[in-house]
Amino acid sequence: MPSLLPFRAVRPTRDKVHLVASRSYVSYTALQLRSKLMENPYSFLHIIHPDMTATNLHKTTDLGERFRQVRSKYDAFLGEGILQRDEKPGLYIYRQIKAGHAFTGIIGAVSVDDYLNGKIKIHEKTIAKREETFVQYLDITKINAEPVLLMARDSKTIDDIIAEKTLERPEYDFTTTNKVHHQFWVMDDAASIEAIEKTYADQDAFYIADGHHRSSSSALLFEKHKASISNDNDPMRYCLAYILSEENVRIYEFNRIVKDLNGLSAAEVIERLGVSFEVAPSHTPVHPHHKGEMGLYMENCWYKLSLKEPSGVLDVQLLTDLVLEPIFAISDLRKDKRISFMEGPKGLDALSQSVDKQGTGAAFTLFAPTVDDIKRIADAGETMPPKSTWVEPKLRSGLVVYEF
């Protein structure tokens, strides 16, 4: 049932793609960002944050003005030939190889109607303020450079098309300084596009792995302008997406850091945890190996927490219900400034160091939700707590731009 639309992508020229495509802005330290802006005039970061310079990293507070500058800088990149618009619509194969694992999928445009009708399923709540900001961004800039990451059922038809196409020379083939290898193929032949469209149309649904706010904001933008949209293929009816087989997506945990012990001593925290968990000291950092197992780091010590009563509830929800709210008085994970989050791939040493640096508080490690967990939650119309999953691959901004 879900539909996929080929589109005319705006892309960097082959000789500059490794210079243009960038990681998400928030993943750079201030020093790294300053270096990128000073040393690389082709970085897409100049478009995303045109109000920033190597000597001034402060963003313009007037969002409308900043987004108009984004559009102006984007037009400048087009005018200089750094970015070019494809001559005809197509779908695109993108492969990212990280630490020996290859993620390969299809980039295209997915229907906003499918999102609104539940054929693109969600597992996470969105924050209204972030939606409003992104809707304003889309409405002013008329571009989307960060695809939503979607999961689909595995398909031999699509696997075969990808296998055949990737025998050809890639349009892009480069490695970035974070040791990730990127490959990209343009697919504009009618037969392949039709076969892919039909295969996805035969599936029940897509599932959002990453990018809930991008999906919801695209839907809100369409709702805002739908009275003036009559063409079924109007670009505003669609959202940029990267679709992978659910077996090709990697899901990691999102661990929690609490900034203080809510006036309790470490011994009192352990005592209260004992109501729901078996608590055992550990000589090594605790990385949970199954559901119902968690780790705790507090005052330079690690503890293994084992749930006393088996539960069908996700561990990330149990941590909120049994620990964060009753013991630490943290009930709203979206707003409470006493809690922060760290993605699993950063490692347990980084987690413990963060607690040591703040001088108090605690960290909790979790077992990562599975693809089946995400699908079960989404199919039931339920949602996970904020920051429940860290999903890979993470795409680079500016590799493909979708225009409205």
% of residues, the chain, pLDDT over 90: 85
pLDDT of residue 372: 95
pLDDT of residue 54: 60
Domain residue ranges in the chain: 4-248+392-403, 253-368
Instruction: State the chain's mean pLDDT as an integer.
Output: 94
Choice among 66-70, 191-195, 234-238, 383-387 with the minimum mean pLDDT: 383-387
Q: What is the mean pLDDT of residues 360-376?
A: 96
pLDDT tens digit sequence for 45-88: 999 988 776 666 677 778 999 999 999 999 999 999 999 999 99
pLDDT of residue 57: 67
Distance CA 212, CA 223 (A): 17
pLDDT of residue 31: 84
CA 60 to chain CA centroid, nearest Å: 25
Distance CA 368, CA 315 (A): 8
Q: Which residue has the tokens 């031999």?
A: 156
Contact 34, 151 (CB under 8 A): no
DSSP class of residue 30 equals H
- Specify the fold of 4-248+392-403: 3.90.1530
pLDDT at 34 over 90: no
Return the C-alpha torsion angle 256, 260, 261, 267, nearest 10.
90
- The count of residues in the chain is 404
pLDDT tens digit sequence for 126-151: 878 889 999 999 999 999 999 999 99
pLDDT tens digit sequence for 85-127: 999 999 999 999 999 999 999 999 999 999 999 999 999 988 7
Which among 381, 377, 375, 262 is positioned nearest to 323, based on CA atoms? Answer: 262
Q: Is 46 exposed, middle or buried (CB count within 10 Å of its CB: 0-12, 13-18, 19+)?
A: buried
- Specify the fold of 253-368: 3.30.1760
Confidence grade of residue 250 (pLDDT, cut at 50, 70, 90) = very high
Residue 1 or residue 296, greater confidence: 296
Domains 4-248+392-403 and 253-368 share a fold: no
Confidence grade of residue 242 (pLDDT, cut at 50, 70, 90) = very high
pLDDT of residue 32: 85
Write down the pTM of the prediction: 0.92
